[in-house]
Every structure is written in structure tokens, then in C-alpha cells.
Chains A and B, each alone.
Chain A
Amino acid sequence: MVASRAIGSLSRFTAFRILRSRGYICRNFTGSSALLTRTHINYGVKGDVAVIRINSPNSKVNTLSKELHSEFMEVMNEIWASDQIRSAVLISSKPGCFIAGADINMLAACKTPQEVTQISQDAQRTFEKLEKSTKPIVAAISGSCLGGGLELAISCQYRIATKDRKTVLGAPEVLLGILPGAGGTQRLPKMVGVPAAFDMMLTGRNIRADRAKKMGLVDQLVEPLGPGLKPPEERTIEYLEEVAVTFAKGLADKKISPKRDKGLVEKLTAYAMTIPFVRQQIYKKVEEKVQKQTKGLYPAPLKIIDVVKTGIEQGSDAGYLSESQKFGELAMTKESKALIGLYHGQVLCKKNKFGAPQKDVKHLAVLGAGLMGAGIAQVSVDKGLKTILKDATLTGLGRGQQQVFKGLNDKVKKKALTSFERDAVFSNLTGQLDYRGFEKADMVIEAVFEDLSLKHKVLKEVEAVIPDHCVFASNTSALPICEIAAVSKRPEKVIGMHYFSPVDKMQLLEIITTEKTSKDTTASAVAVGLKQGKVIIVVKDGPGFYTTRCLAPMMSEVIRILQEGVDPKKLDSLTTSFGFPVGAATLVDEVGVDVANHVAEDLGKTFGERFAGGSLELLQQMVSKGFLGRKSGKGFYIYQEGVKDKNLNSDVDSILASLKMPPKSEVSSDEDIQYRLVTRFVNEAVMCLQEGVLATPAEGDIGAVFGLGFPPCLGGPFRFLDLYGAQKIVDRLRKYEDAYGKQFTPCQLLTDYASSPNKKFYQ
């Protein structure tokens, strides 16, 4: 697998060299000089069309860096000055990437907003020149065209994109807490209309080529080609170039008009947007929606709205100025730094630092067709893994198979998959009640009920039928892996793979290694996780591992806060307004009251007083009454099919009343309640790092944000400490320690960081 990938990249590399050398040859003919110094861009001339090829060295993607920018300007100036050249094509030599965006490190290196604003203004000027170019420029897009790449493309006179799944266009700046700073906020609304532009810029969503064509974001599509006399990717790029060249000629000859026929709906929208009242209503609506979704915690979306508004209402000069200034301001915000940190962390957690496993996993078996088991099966068959889904009963199995089918079918409805592909993918799944075929399995993931004796029984049964090399992975959220592995004949092959529910939506996978787990087993688990599209953290074994362990003290605090008389709705609104995507009480319902109770009991036994707080009695009573959360229809809330606004479950009131505790007024303000929850979480996370459960703070942040919904605007517990100061958190902890005792005692590592302000988790 890896070998073939390496070969693939090698052959691609040679392909680039061929393309590039051809560029050189052409250049020799055109007679331009001083070109050998260019590393990111080269160009050749086909007839009277200049073909500009972007290819950043030593990287899988092209990014808009300072070097690329200056080389590009050089080339463009030559093209504009040349009499022979009448039009130009802009294309990437990398098959999977046009330009993936601006160079984030370039922004990170800036110390002041003015520096960032300067970068933005430079880019604005360049793109304005492109836009006003008298020689038409055609952007030939294959692969990701994101952020600055998109802004470059929409400055050109014409866009042609390959209709490939890899070809996506988008303005994901908002996800990094910034805005499109190279004219995007001004050009996009003109190109696709204000509502669509807002949607693109505020959600950062990727748009596939065919959708982009419909929106008017690209003018022509080129179908990807199959194998011919060259590898498909190489020939497709060549073909894209050929087509782009003919269009560039056509544009220069005025045989093709760059203007697009707009549909009726578009025309109507455009007309409506000329009415000031309608525009105001749209701004208001969008602002309200953003305010509601971000709780005002993210400055970027609001600034984007503001900048777009400025451009439309006060003209583009004001718009461009506002764009560059707001871009500078945003780049300096803590939120942006936190989000960019998460981006880097995510990139890190998408790599297998354990190397390639000795044996590639091709056959997977999942035990237990419950919510988790079926979810794991779904993300596996999706990526071409032959998967056995085994359950004990036919009804259980049928439910699981239906879940997998529904998951795939939903993708068909969203047009991410054709019904034919769905069927082909679904045929990777074998549902069965026995252990037939396990002799071929390379990995078994068990997702049976969280009960140690059951896990032991399953492990022994499986070990009797699987081959020697097969990895046994346990999907558990709290049971220590070493305890599960205790009955194994080959503990080096036993590992924990903690998935999060719903598996097909949650990006995180927490992999847990025991002292006996071999490195190859870990490499194998990470490889499978990456194949399933997961962001992976690898942690050491221990009660609750990392994620559950951080969540448990927070949950304990949730119960106490409820016992102190804060009603669940209020608690939910306090947590969401702090940035958690799901309110704390709702979270208990989602996880399952019984599961929460189970975990709390287990971890409570191990960690003792530090995990105390609320009384477990609350959860126990709820379980005994059947209030198990969403799955049973009742928890803190009542869940009904088709009812959107959920109501509080009034039957819980009596339980709460019977367990009522007096609130301590000095630590019960809204802010204190929020911080009581968050500080316990953060303190436990730091303790995990201190004890070596976590290998790096980055994994801690990724795990907290992607697995537990820690506010992304804070960047994760460690980034939060770095940005807001460890001392402030320690002060809070001390205050609550005075009120409640040991549960809030800051751990050693945290006080170390607090006492030396220069010490940061991220250097």
C-alpha cells in the first residue's frame, strides 16, 4: 500500500519534471531570460496563449506564499508586456490541487495587524490587475481551489474546472477565524449573488465542481479522463490545459463571451438585491442567524457580513479597504489563533507517526451490531474494507445492517454517492451470527456492551478463531484495556479503539495502548483509523483514558450544579454560550444516563474524591425510572419523533428536589458555574499530560475539541491555557477549592506553568 503510494508519487514527480522541462523548452523559444531562478511558477507559450503552471516545490499542495506571489507577478508582467501573447491559462501541475489557500505560516509570522493588512492589500492589488487584464486569463482548476486559490480564480476572466470529486472550491477562511482577504468578500457576492456568497464565506463549505458550475462560480466543466497512453491524472491535466487553451483563444478572439446566461431565479435574486430594503433584511437575517449559532463567540463571521455590506453599500474601494483592515484585525484575535492551532493539530493527527504496519488490514470484523458497531462498520465499508458485522441475534444484526444502509443511502440523497456505488459499497459488508470467515480477519474490533466479563468472553472466543497476526481492538469508553487484555493469549495484539457516537459524524478516534501493546499493533490501528477518515490521538491506557477521564469530573460538576437548583435548560444555555456545541444536560441525555452512571461509578472508584461532586444517586434514580436519555425517549428532556423543541422532563424534578443541595453563593454566578465546569475539565486534561497518558498537548486539544466538543474558539484545554494564561485558571481553581475542596486542587504541572508565565504548552 505504502509502497504503491510511494511509486505513485514518484511517477507523478517525474511527470511534473516532464511538464516542467517542456515549459523550459518553450521558454527557450520565447527567449525570455532569468527564468531558471523561479521555483514555484513556470510558463510556456502555445501559439499566442501563455500557459502558466504553478508547482510549489517539495509540497503536495500549492499555497499562496510570498515567493509564489512575487514570481507570479513577474510572469504576469512579462505576459502583459509580450506582443506575441494574447491570452493566458493558469493551471497547476499538481493533479490534486490548484491552490489550497494562502500560506498560513506567512500569516502566523506577522506580529501586528498592520503587517497582515499589508499582505491583504498586496494580494488585492495583484488580483485587481488580473481582473482588469486586457488579455483574458483562464483559470484551469483541477483539485482543491480554496481560500486564496479561489480568490485568484475568481479574479480571472474565465474558469474551467475538472468534474472530479477532488475538485472543490470554497472559502474556508472563516474556519480559521479570518476572512477572505484578497478581494473575495467583494468579488464573490458579485459573482454568485449575495445569499450564496454569504453561505460560502460563513460556512466555509467545499463546493464540488458541478455545483460550482450551476452557481456560476465556474464557466465550464471538463470530465476527468480514464487511462489512455498516459496515467489518467496526467492526461486529465493535459486535457484540461488543451481545453483551457482553446477557450483562452476563443476569449481573445471574442468568439466566446465571458458573460454567463443567468437563470430566472438568479435574475430575480439579482433584481431583489437592487432594492435597499431587501438588502437590509438579508443582512439582518444573516446576522441573526450567525449570532444565534456562534453566540457571539466567533468574531470572523460578523466581520465578514460587515465587510460584504460595506462593499455593497459604500462601493468597492471602501469594501477592499475594510476587507484588508478587518483581515488584519481578525488574524490577531485569540479565536483565530485557537482555530489555526486546531488546524495544525488536525493535520498532525492525520498522520501515522508509528509508520506503516507490517500487514495491511484488508479484512475487518466488527463484533456487536449496536449503534457503535454498525457505525464502525459503515465508515469501514465506505473505504473499501471487507467487513464482517457479527451480532448475537438476528434482530440486532438486522438493525445494524439497516443503520449502515441508511447511512450510505443518506449520502445518495445528498448526491455524494450514486445508488450504484452505494450498493457496491454495501456489498463489502457481511452480516452474520457466527465466527465464519474470522480466520481471514486482519483486525477485529469489538463493540459489545460495556461489561468486563462479556468482553473477556468475546476476546477468548475470538482468539480461538483468528489468525496470529490479527489485531484485537476494543471499543470501550472507560474499561481499562489492560484489564480486558488480561485474559488474552497475546496481549501485544490487544489495543483500544475508542470511537465516538455517531461514528460516521464524529471525527475523533482515541487509540489506547497498554504497556504490552506492540508498536506494529498501534501502527495497524492508526492505519485503519486513518483509512476510516478519522482524526487520531494515541493515548496510554488508564481508567477513562484521556477523553472519558476529562469528561467525568465535568459531569460530576454538572450533577452538583443541577442539585444546587440550576435547571437543566439554564445549565444548557450557560454551557453553549461558553462555546460548547451541546449543552451539558443534553450531553448526558445524548451519551445515555445509564452509560454516564456506569462510567461515573467506575472512575469514581479509581480516582476517589477528585472525581466527586454531585451525587450519583441522581443518575441511579433516573436509570431506575427508565430515564436513560434520548435512546429511551426520556432523560432530563422528553424526546418525541418529529418534535423539534424538546421539553423538560418534569418527572426528574421530584428526584432533583429530593437530592437538593444548597448552592454556595460565592461560586454560583453564571460565570462561576461555567468556569467550575471548564476548570475541572482543563485541570484533568493537564493531569493526563502530567501522568503521560497524553503524549502531546496537541493531541489533548484535538481530543477535547473533536471528541468532547470543547469550545473550538478556545482551541482546546492547552491552547486555552496558553492564550488566556495558566495563572488565571489556577486562581479560579483555588477559589473553587476553597468552596468545595480537593476536586478543584490544581495539578502540579498546571501550577508549574502558572508560576512561570513564559512557559507555554505550544512553544
Chain B
Amino acid sequence: MTTILTCTLKNLPSTSKWALRFSVRFLSCSSQLRAAPAGQTKSKKTLAKPNVRNIVVVDGVRTAFLQSGTSYKDLMPHDLARAALTGLLHQTSVPKEVVDYIIFGTVIQEVKTSNVAREAALGAGFSDKTPAHTVTMACISANQAMTTGVGLIASGQCDVVVAGGVELMSDVPIRHSRKMRKMMLDLNKAKTLGQKLSLISKFRLNFLSPELPAVAEFSTSETMGHSADRLAAAFAVSRLEQDEYALRSHSLAKKAQDEGLLSDIIPFKVPGKDTVTKDNGIRPSSLEQMAKLKPAFIKPYGTVTAANSSFLTDGASAMLIMAEEKALAMGYKPKAYLRDFVYVSQDPKDQLLLGPTYATPKVLEKAGLTMNDIDVYEFHEAFSGQILANFKAMDSDWFAQNYMGRKTKVGAPPLEKFNNWGGSLSLGHPFGATGCRLVMAAANRLRKGGGQYGLVAACAAGGQGHAMIVEAYPK
């Protein structure tokens, strides 16, 4: 805690208002610490349930997350996914033939490899007898891949599942316009030269204007950053608060990187380029620098900027999930249990990014835990404004009563337990791959810090959300 403080304070002029605020926050944190000593008395000793298989994470890896358009830019998504898969094989030494099933999450699909899980698995040398499928659920696609795996194991269908996710934003499928496509398809069917010529004569220059993958919500046509800006305004989150939070994320990520805590990264030799071992989006800056940026979405007076938003990222992650008895039989020492999880969804217009607010109390209730039981929080940071709005929503009785049908608020997570090794704002956010990173960060933080329960939560396009409890595997 103190190291964090000194680390971030170094970047600040001592007269800054922010420093004052931070010290206030520090005080409140410490009082919370005193009130509820972390990891001492838990509501439940374990979340194991009778007659339900325990499901464990044996290990998980990811490629370094890179800003799109950098070292990974010439790859295809399945190349990145393959790198994560081979990395996982290498890390765990799991015999390929014991893997029952492979599931990957992805969002922007490369049309050639629409089932990217299968293409990557084949290329990574997994058995061609191991089936694989791809899931998509926006920013919680990898979470969906993991929980699908959990379902397969819990129901006894599989014992060993590889789950992961991949996103390559350096290349996105840009299509011909519908008119052009229609003409090209009709040309295929045209038999005589006359038919072909008459089709070609209908060609207009505007047919050539390309169709970009929509960055907007389909149902509302609103881009996510725009929605985040409105969300921040709705909860009266100021620009300064957002910049401060972003700075915190970058500072903590830098520290974690420097201290070698991001141990889930596997080195990846990119063909024709150097071996990539480090995330390249971590850029601790200063509040003054950040204040200079213009708003990116609501111009000219919005509060969401490039500096307080997550950036377009390339990356892949993979994780080996097993039934506990299988893992133990194979001689593994698992890292964590995957416990209760929930998916939630709400209004995609005005509550697009409030998934964590809705999911957190629900998953805690399901598991029979309270916020005090949680030792580490790993939330997906889409935007600073989104995280802070979620904090405010979670800390509001009014919101809980009027929009969530709950009697009281769940409370905001204490900042000293929150995303201590950085988050999507600083590490990057390859849409399809972030989920596994969150779970591995929670597991590794629990191992390192000695806590028992971790809470992973994320929001996703479509107004959906997810939360899961990760329980440390006893040492």
C-alpha cells in the first residue's frame, strides 16, 4: 500500500489537489482496514459444495498484450491463439491427448477462421481428435469460454478443458458494401455474357465504399465510449477523477511489471520480429499531460479521453481447467478453484457498462459471501469513468432500490484490494482474451498475498455482465 503511494506520488507535484484527495482516500482505506481485517474471519471456510465436482485452474497463460498495430500486426488471430495454446502446453506439460475439449472466446471474427479455437488447436499440435468451439459474448467472451468449460466438467461430460480467448484488433474484416456483394454474388449466377453485362451495367461507384465492422452497439447505434461518457456524467464522475484512476491503473501495472508479478505472460517469438515478453500499453503519465487531451467521444465537453479509456489491443490467453480429482491424479498442484458465477444483463442504452454493479451482489449472494470476505478484486476496466460509475452505483442505496430491486447497496470495493496489478486500462484489453487474464490475476494475487476469495467482474457490449468467485487452492 505504502509503496503504491510513494510510487504514484512520485509522479505528482506535491501541491496537486489530487495528492490531497489521495491522502483522504488513504485515510478512509485504513479505517476500513481496521474495521475488517482482511482474510481473518470468513463467512464460509470454503465454497466447496457436497455432490458437486470441484473445478480447478491448473494454470493459465497469456501472450503479452500489445497495442494494435504493433508487433502482432501481421499475424492472424489463430496465430496468436496458437501462441497461447503452445505456451500453455509448455507451461503445464499436459499430455495433449488428455484434453477433452477446447473453447475459445473472440469478438471480431476473422471470416476465414470463424471457429478460431479449432484452427488454433490444430496448429498448436493438439490432437485432431479433440473437438473445439468458439464462443462470443463481447468483452466477456473468455469468461464465457471458461464457464462453458466449468459446465462441461461439472456435468461430468469432460474432465480436462482448455479455455481461452483471442483478439487481433490490428486487422479487422472490412467488407464490400452490401450492394457490391449482391452484384458479385449475382454475377456468379449469371450464365450468359448478356446477363453478366446487364449486371455490370448496374454498377455504381458508391458500391465500392467499404463497410467497416461497427464499433457501435447494434441496438442503439451508440459507440461504447459515448455511452461511457454519458454513464460517467450520469454518476457525476469528473474528468479529474477519471484521469486519477487511469493514472493509478498505469502506475500499478508498471510496478507489477517491474516486480515481475505478471507471471502469466509467456514469451512469444513473432515470425520475422523479436520475441515479445512484455505488455506495451503501460504508460504512466502525469495528470497535467492527461488533462491536455481532448475528449474522444462527446465533443467538446465530454470527460472520456484516450488516456482514461482502454486501448485497442492484440492478445490471446489460455487456461487449463480440470476436475480437481483428475488434476490431483495427474500430480498437478492447482492454482485456484473456479466457484460460483453469474451472468447479468440490463438496458444496453443507459446501463451498458454497469454489469459489475448488477453481477457483484448476485454472485456474492449465490456463494453466501459478503464484500468483507473478498480479498482481491479483479474488475475489467473498460473506461475509468465506467469503473468509477460502477463504484458509485454499488455504493448507492438509491440505485440499488430503484434499479436493481434490492433493499440496500452492496458497497464499493475497497481500493486497496482492487486491480492492484493494473487493469485493462493499462495492460490492454483484447476483447476476447481479457476474461482469462482477470481470473489468472485474481488467482496469482491470492497466492502472492495469501487471501482466500477473489471476485472477478466485467461488463460487456449488449448491456451484459459477469462475475465469478475464484477461491485460492490451499497451499
Bound-complex Cα distance A143 to B306 (A): 32
The residue in A228, A231, A235, A420 that gathers the most chain B C-beta atoms within 10 A of its C-beta is A228
Provided the pairs A228-B389, A229-B235 are in contact, do residues A223 and B298 lie with their beta carbons within 8 angstroms? yes
Q: Is the CB of A228 within 8 A of B234?
A: yes
Size category of the binding interface on chain A: 10 to 19
Closest Cβ of chain A to B22, distance in Å, is 23
Q: Is the CB of B351 within 8 A of A227?
A: yes
Q: Is B233 an interface residue (CB 8 A)?
A: yes
Q: Is B347 an interface residue (CB 8 A)?
A: yes
- Inside 8 A of B351's CB, which chain A residues have their CB? 226-227
- Inside 8 A of A239's CB, which chain B residues have their CB? 233-234
- Inside 8 A of A235's CB, which chain B residues have their CB? 234, 236
- Inside 8 A of B347's CB, which chain A residues have their CB? 226
Q: Is the CB of B219 within 8 A of A227?
A: no
Provided the pairs A229-B235, A229-B392, A246-B301 are in contact, do residues A223 and B230 lie with their beta carbons within 8 angstroms? yes
Closest Cβ of chain B to A159, distance in Å, is 15
Provided the pairs A246-B301, A418-B221, A420-B219 are in contact, do residues A228 and B402 lie with their beta carbons within 8 angstroms? no
Q: Is the CB of A232 within 8 A of B233?
A: no
Q: Is B403 an interface residue (CB 8 A)?
A: yes
- Inside 8 A of B403's CB, which chain A residues have their CB? 227
- Inside 8 A of A243's CB, which chain B residues have their CB? 301
Closest Cβ of chain A to B234, distance in Å, is 3
Q: Is the CB of A226 within 8 A of B231?
A: yes
Closest Cβ of chain B to A243, distance in Å, is 5
Q: Is the CB of B350 within 8 A of A227?
A: yes
Provided the pairs A235-B234, A239-B233 are in contact, do residues A225 and B396 lie with their beta carbons within 8 angstroms? no
Bound-complex Cα distance A225 to B235 (A): 9
- Inside 8 A of A228's CB, which chain B residues have their CB? 231, 233-236, 389, 392-393, 399
Q: Is B218 an interface residue (CB 8 A)?
A: yes
Q: Is the CB of A420 within 8 A of B234?
A: no
Q: Is the CB of A225 within 8 A of B233?
A: yes
Nearest B residue (CB) for A239: B233
Q: Is the CB of A232 within 8 A of B230?
A: no
* Contact pick for A229, options B219, B236, B298, B349, CB 8 Å: B236
Q: Is the CB of A420 within 8 A of B230?
A: no
Closest Cβ of chain A to B358, distance in Å, is 12
Q: Is the CB of B230 within 8 A of A226?
A: yes
Bound-complex Cα distance A239 to B303 (A): 12
Bound-complex Cα distance A232 to B393 (A): 14
- Inside 8 A of A229's CB, which chain B residues have their CB? 235-236, 392-393, 396, 398-399
Nearest A residue (CB) for B349: A226
Q: Beta-carbon contacts of A197-239 to B below 8 Å, as 1s and 0s? A: 0000000000000000000000010010111111110010001
Q: Is B417 an interface residue (CB 8 A)?
A: no
Nearest B residue (CB) for A421: B219
The residue in B231, B233, B347, B349 that gathers the most chain A C-beta atoms within 10 A of its C-beta is B233
- Inside 8 A of B392's CB, which chain A residues have their CB? 228-229
Q: Is the CB of B220 within 8 A of A420?
A: yes
Q: Beta-carbon contacts of B387-404 to A below 8 Å, as 1s and 0s? A: 001001100101100110
Q: Is the CB of B230 within 8 A of A225?
A: yes
Nearest B residue (CB) for A424: B219
Q: Is B73 an interface residue (CB 8 A)?
A: no
Closest Cβ of chain A to B357, distance in Å, is 11
Nearest A residue (CB) for B397: A229
Provided the pairs A246-B301, A420-B219 are in contact, do residues A226 and B226 lie with their beta carbons within 8 angstroms? no
Q: Is the CB of B350 within 8 A of A232?
A: yes
Q: Is the CB of B234 within 8 A of A232?
A: yes
- Inside 8 A of B398's CB, which chain A residues have their CB? 229-230
Bound-complex Cα distance A220 to B402 (A): 31
- Inside 8 A of B230's CB, which chain A residues have their CB? 223, 225-226
- Inside 8 A of B389's CB, which chain A residues have their CB? 228
- Inside 8 A of B349's CB, which chain A residues have their CB? 226
Bound-complex Cα distance A223 to B347 (A): 17
Residues 232-290 of A at the B interface (beta carbon under 8 Å): 232, 235, 239, 243, 246-247
Q: Beta-carbon contacts of B339-352 to A below 8 Å, as 1s and 0s? A: 00000000101110
Q: Is the CB of A227 within 8 A of B399?
A: yes
Closest Cβ of chain B to A566, distance in Å, is 50
Bound-complex Cα distance A229 to B233 (A): 10
Bound-complex Cα distance A642 to B393 (A): 57
Q: Is the CB of A225 within 8 A of B221?
A: no
Closest Cβ of chain A to B454, distance in Å, is 28
Bound-complex Cα distance A226 to B398 (A): 14
Residues 316-368 of B at the A interface (beta carbon under 8 Å): 347, 349-351
Bound-complex Cα distance A243 to B299 (A): 12
Q: Beta-carbon contacts of A687-722 to B below 8 Å, as 1s and 0s? A: 000000000000000000000000000000000000
Bound-complex Cα distance A302 to B367 (A): 74
- Inside 8 A of B229's CB, which chain A residues have their CB? 223
- Inside 8 A of A227's CB, which chain B residues have their CB? 234, 350-351, 399, 402-403
Q: Beta-carbon contacts of A504-529 to B below 8 Å, as 1s and 0s? A: 00000000000000000000000000
Bound-complex Cα distance A598 to B350 (A): 54
Spell out A's residues near B (CB within 8 Å): 220, 223, 225-232, 235, 239, 243, 246-247, 418, 420
Q: Given A225-B234, A229-B236, 15 more contacts at CB 8 Å?
A: A225-B230, A225-B233, A226-B350, A227-B234, A228-B231, A228-B233, A228-B392, A228-B399, A229-B393, A231-B402, A232-B234, A232-B350, A235-B234, A418-B220, A418-B221
Q: Which 6 A-B pairs have the closest CB atoms?
A: A226-B350, A228-B234, A225-B234, A228-B235, A420-B219, A239-B233
Of the A-B pairs whose beta carbons lie under 8 Å apart in the complex, a sample of 14, sorted by A's number, is A223-B230, A225-B350, A226-B230, A226-B234, A226-B351, A227-B234, A227-B402, A228-B392, A228-B393, A229-B399, A235-B234, A243-B301, A418-B221, A420-B221
